[in-house]
């Protein structure tokens, strides 16, 4: 149990008229960077929201480090939701103070460091920023926590390729050996080099879990190419 940071046991999530997750069994080991990949509406965000306690399972269990999602797990999980929840009127500096007050493991100097690298002025208010810059700020806040599990829902969707590289670089160099990163994305080509493992999910079922190199060895093609084949419309 102590080897996996996230575990699902027969996890079911049922919405009226829609089975979002169909008895998912899954174990994400510590110290890995894992990609959660699937087409639109496959259940990625549902799984992520369950892991963060924003939804509750219809049946089955989801455990973070052996605990059900709650106050204790929120201390060790740093979560980037698909939509921003930050207040528009706040400046970046206020937000950093806010996060610093809120989370014990928030590292302010790391946050300021990253802001500088991405040329974001800490006194700027969020509402004056472009969509991409807002996403950068949010990711900086999330990655500045020294967490055990980072859950990133579409972290690179709205940013330009150069920033994408910087963000991936940040993910590689910031995560410690014991930390795990679970990220969902459609931009597979961009992320596959930094992933240890991939999880393919479709219509609420896990259809494949494998390492990136295993896929390339067995199939002789990239994860992106395999994805296009498995999920061909």
Under the binding rule (CB under 8 A), the answer on residue 224 touching another protein is yes
DSSP 56: -
Specify the DSSP element, H or E, that contains 12.
strand 4-15
Look up residue 12 and give its two tokens: 């079911």
In the complex, what is the shortest distance from the CB of residue 172 to another protein, in angstroms, rounded to a whole number? 5
* Strand boundaries in 66-179, DSSP class E: 77-80, 149-153
Find the binding residues for another protein in span 35-94 (CB under 8 A). none
Under the binding rule (CB under 8 A), the answer on residue 168 touching another protein is yes
Under the binding rule (CB under 8 A), the answer on residue 196 touching another protein is yes
Radius of gyration of the chain (CA): 18
Among 3, 72, 113, 217, binds another protein (CB under 8 A): 217
Look up residue 201 and give its two tokens: 């999910």
Under the binding rule (CB under 8 A), the answer on residue 3 touching another protein is no
Among 76, 118, 194, 207, binds another protein (CB under 8 A): 194
Find the binding residues for another protein in span 90-129 (CB under 8 A). none
- What is residue 198's three-state secondary structure? strand
Among 76, 120, 207, 225, binds another protein (CB under 8 A): 225
Look up residue 168 and give its two tokens: 């991936």
Is the Cβ–Cβ distance between 29 and 186 less than 8 Å?
Answer: no
Size of the site for another protein (CB under 8 A): 23
Per the DSSP assignment, residues forming a β-bridge with 9 are: 61
Look up residue 72 and give its two tokens: 């204790």
Among 172, 178, 228, 229, binds another protein (CB under 8 A): 172
Q: Which residues bind another protein (CB under 8 A)?
A: 31-33, 165, 168-169, 172-173, 189, 192-196, 212-213, 216-217, 220-222, 224-225
């Amino acid at each position: 149990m102590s080897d996996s940071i996230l575990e699902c046991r027969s996890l079911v999530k049922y919405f009226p008229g829609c089975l979002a997750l169909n008895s998912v069994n899954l174990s994400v080991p510590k110290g890995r960077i894992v990609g959660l990949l699937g087409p639109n509406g496959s259940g990625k965000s549902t799984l992520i929201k369950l892991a963060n306690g924003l939804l509750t399972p219809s049946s089955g269990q989801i455990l973070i480090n052996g605990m059900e999602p709650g106050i204790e797990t929120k201390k060790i999980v740093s979560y980037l939701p698909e939509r921003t929840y930050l207040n528009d009127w706040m400046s970046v500096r206020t937000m950093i103070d806010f996060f610093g007050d809120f989370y014990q493991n928030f590292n302010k100097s790391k946050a300021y460091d990253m802001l500088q690298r991405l040329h974001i002025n800490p006194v700027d208010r969020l509402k004056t920023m472009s969509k991409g810059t807002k996403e950068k700020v949010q990711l900086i806040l999330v990655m500045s926590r020294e967490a055990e599990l980072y859950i990133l829902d579409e972290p690179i969707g709205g940013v330009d390729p150069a920033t994408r590289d910087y963000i991936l670089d940040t993910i590689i160099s910031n995560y410690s050996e014991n930390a795990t990163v679970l990220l969902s994305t459609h931009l597979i080509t961009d992320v596959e080099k930094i992933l240890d493992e991939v999880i393919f999910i479709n219509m609420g079922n896990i259809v494949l879990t494998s390492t990136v190199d295993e896929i390339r060895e067995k199939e002789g093609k990239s994860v992106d190419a395999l994805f296009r084949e498995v999920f061909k419309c």
